Structure 1
Amino acid sequence: MSALQEELILSSPYQEFEREEWKDLNGQFNLNLESTDIHSLHALNEPLNMKEIEEIYFPLAHLIELHIKNHDTIRDDSNSFFQRNQQKLPFIVGIAGSVAVGKSTTARVLTKVLSLLPHKPKVELVTTDGFLFSNKVLLEKNIMNRKGFPESYDTKKLLHFLSAIKSGIPQISVPMYSHLEYDILEDEEQKIIEPDILILEGINVLQVTSQKGQNNKVFVSDFFDFSIYVDALEKDIISWYVNRFESLRATAFQNPTSYFHKYADMSLLESREMATQIWNEINKPNLHDNILPTKYRADLILQKGSDHFVESIKVRKI
């Protein structure tokens, strides 16, 4: 290792842990999940087993628990200092990363594991898909082909939601999104009622660049108490995306009500070519221009290997 490489490692704002070291940081936190729980937590083509949960997510939940305890201590000390009784507010965890990298699985597993902490907190999961503009609005704005880019989200509505959460409003309704219909469900809402922990998952949640024509002074990540970026080599993400597209073509796309039913009769070759085209035209530029630049804003980075399992973890130094 060169002197420059050693200097770069020493100057990194992160501590890095290989999987074998990380799994031993769990402490006393232990629990048993049913096989039915594991089956319901992972997404299509994303392997998940108890070993991954025990070795990666148990220590992660324990670390977040430490942050929550410190957060509560600061609130109590502040109440004493200001001679007021500020209510306990939800602890917000943000999860970011590329399309197809496994954010949703990470979010669901973490939601489940955190809910099993000793004090049994109430944990709610919200995805930013619900804050996409409707297809009607996207068509009116002529940005339907940029769905998933920052400008396709109703950022004002998302910021209003997070502000309400951190203001202690007891019940908040958020819009819901259907991947089958590829659109917002106008008549359905998710009710968030006094959570102890809120997990917000989305590709651009760590972004701090103002959208064109806007002069944002507040960003989504300003409301986070802890943030996670799920990372992998781009070649692996592309492979996962193409394989997932093909699996969906053979299953969900066969549903006549699916927005993507037009791809249902494609051959394997046509399906893979279409997925690659969509990746190159939409997901790749979004990754490089908007998502990947936010990686080092996260408090913790989960680095996945080609098998979809976490290989190493970077944690921001305190």
Structure 2
Amino acid sequence: MSSNNQSGVSSPFQLFDRIEWANLNGHFSYNLTNEDVENLHALNEPLTITEIEEIYFPLAHLLDILIQRAKDAHQVVNGFLNKHTQSLPFIIGIAGSVAVGKSTTAKVLQKVLSMLPGKPRVDLVTTDGFLYPNEVLITRNILNRKGFPESYDTKLLLNFLSAMKSGIGNFEVPVYSHLEYDIVQGHRQQVSKPDILIVEGINVLQVNSSKGNNVFVSDYFDYSIYVDAHENDIMEWYVKRFESLRATSFQNPESYFHRYANMNEQESVTMATSIWNEINRPNLHENILPTRYRADLILEKGSHHFVKQIKVRKI
């Protein structure tokens, strides 16, 4: 059952268990195939139609209510101000740790929201594209800090979000390659007047955007989601993903991590654990986890990678 009180302390969130949350979905239904599901989940992240129906259908229903409310408010306020500006995209931020499953959450949400009545255009942008190129990180001696706040071109990210909320028609954002572990020179993702924009990345709820700048990435969000799990589970998922990549993508000579391709399983586990402890764990505790309760909604996963409960900020 839902709870407005956690550990005896008043909370700004309402808590829903999985069954209660699934029952909130009133009338939305979508025709998803097994092929759709297969195309949506990432490596080592199980996804089922049941998970989408019980978690993402109600979430899409909630977001649709908020989107319609935002449209109505925009129209009323414009009338009051005697302005006739166009409707602007509803921007959703998705945050969480490395390996927690943000990309799968973002892709599933993009798919389900695009099937809402009216068939809105839903674009998905990841903040990986706003990382500085490796040559810049090397020059600044922070290549081993990739993923930390200072490794992002926050000014460019803020300019992009400002453009979206200013009704600018087209904006090109850089493209990041996980194979090359770098920004792909000459490649751009075109974002053109989406109805809904999903921005996914570990840094989207952080407040330390850049020195002397009091504007934060999250200032542009209409709704924010944090994907959460127990740290031990996230680390286990990260290690398993690293091992799977070692046996697949890392075998490609073009891969930045090809040097790990000939490791045995134990060497791979040791290396992945070391990377987690030296880079990802400090970043989680210093910069990501502190933003969790800034979100409007928290999806809490169990050890099986499926959502076990949902926290929704009270309105």
After TM superposition, the score normalised by the length of structure 1 is 0.97
CA distance in structure 1 between the aligned counterparts of 2:9 and 2:290, rounded to whole angstroms: 22
Aligned to 1:287: 284
C-alpha distance after superposition, 1:247-284 (max 9, x if no partner): 00000000000000000000000000000000000000
Q: Which amino acid aligns with 1:260?
A: F
Aligned to 1:44: 43
Secondary structure in structure 2 of the residue aligned to 1:11:
strand
Aligned to 1:17: 16
CA distance in structure 2 between the aligned counterparts of 1:10 and 1:266, rounded to whole angstroms: 49
Measured after TM superposition, the shift of residue 10 of structure 1 is: 5.7
Aligned to 2:63: 64
Does the CA contact (< 8 Å) of 2:93 and 2:218 recur in 1?
yes
Give the gaps of 5 or more residues in structure 1.
Answer: none
Of 230-239 and 8-17, deviating more is 8-17
Corresponding residue to 1:303 among 300, 303, 307: 300
Aligned to 1:220: 217
Measured after TM superposition, the shift of residue 210 of structure 1 is: 4.6
Percent sequence identity over aligned pairs:
66
Aligned to 1:191: 190
C-alpha distance after superposition, 1:9-67 (max 9, x if no partner): 56100000000000001110001111111111000000000000000000000000011
C-alpha distance after superposition, 1:51-98 (max 9, x if no partner): 000000000000000110110111111121112212100000000000
Give the gaps of 5 or more residues in structure 2.
Answer: none
Of 227-236 and 35-44, deviating more is 35-44
Secondary structure in structure 2 of the residue aligned to 1:291:
helix
Aligned to 2:92: 93
Aligned to 2:157: 158
C-alpha distance after superposition, 1:109-150 (max 9, x if no partner): 000000000110000000000000000000000000000000
CA distance in structure 1 between the aligned counterparts of 2:109 and 2:135, rounded to whole angstroms: 34
Does the CA contact (< 8 Å) of 2:89 and 2:195 recur in 1?
yes
Please identify runs of 4+ aligned residues in structure 1 that moved more than 2 A.
Answer: 5-10
Q: Which amino acid aligns with 2:136?
A: V
Q: Does 1:278 align with 2:275?
A: yes
Aligned to 2:248: 251
Distance 1:6 1:218, change over 3 A: closer
Q: Does 1:242 align with 2:239?
A: yes
Measured after TM superposition, the shift of residue 194 of structure 1 is: 1.0
Aligned to 1:208: 207
CA distance in structure 2 between the aligned counterparts of 1:46 and 1:145, rounded to whole angstroms: 26
Does the CA contact (< 8 Å) of 2:154 and 2:209 recur in 1?
no
CA distance in structure 2 between the aligned counterparts of 1:177 and 1:145, rounded to whole angstroms: 17
Of 151-160 and 202-211, deviating more is 202-211
CA distance in structure 2 between the aligned counterparts of 1:215 and 1:109, rounded to whole angstroms: 36
Q: Which amino acid aligns with 2:273?
A: T
CA distance in structure 2 between the aligned counterparts of 1:208 and 1:295, rounded to whole angstroms: 12
Measured after TM superposition, the shift of residue 289 of structure 1 is: 0.1
* RMSD (Å) for aligned C-alpha atoms: 1.1
C-alpha distance after superposition, 1:202-224 (max 9, x if no partner): 0010001254xx11210000000
CA distance in structure 1 between the aligned counterparts of 2:59 and 2:112, rounded to whole angstroms: 9
CA distance in structure 2 between the aligned counterparts of 1:19 and 1:26, rounded to whole angstroms: 12
Q: Does 1:265 align with 2:262?
A: yes
1:119-134 alignment runs, 5 A limit: 119-134=118-133
In the alignment of these two chains, the number of paired residues is 312
Distance 1:239 1:206, change over 3 A: same
